[in-house]
Amino acid sequence: MLKWTLNLSAFVLALPMLYIFGCGLYTLYCREWLQFLILLVAEFGCFLLITAGTVIVEAVEWFSGWIAEL
């Protein structure tokens, strides 16, 4: 169930990440450095959410396998 939820959240976050990336490219073109920095932080935050979800799922799987061995 956790893997399914992680996959779903990754698909949900993919569209805003693409939009943020596109806006970031536009702000680079317009040389709006502060807005670019804000978008860069937002993009990094989305990436951290997906990474943290993956770490949690892997930790739960490892822990459940460890409990099953006992």
| pLDDT tens digits, one per residue of 37-68 | 999 999 999 999 999 988 998 999 899 888 88
Token duo for residue 29: 């073109």
What single string gives the DSSP state of each residue in 36-53? Answer: HHHHHHHHHHHHHHHHHH
Q: Write down the pTM of the prediction.
A: 0.79
| pLDDT tens digits, one per residue of 4-44 | 877 888 888 899 999 999 999 999 999 999 999 999 999 99
User: What distance in Å separates the CA atoms of residue 42 and residue 61, rounded to the nearest whole number?
Assistant: 29
pLDDT of residue 67: 86
pLDDT of residue 41: 97
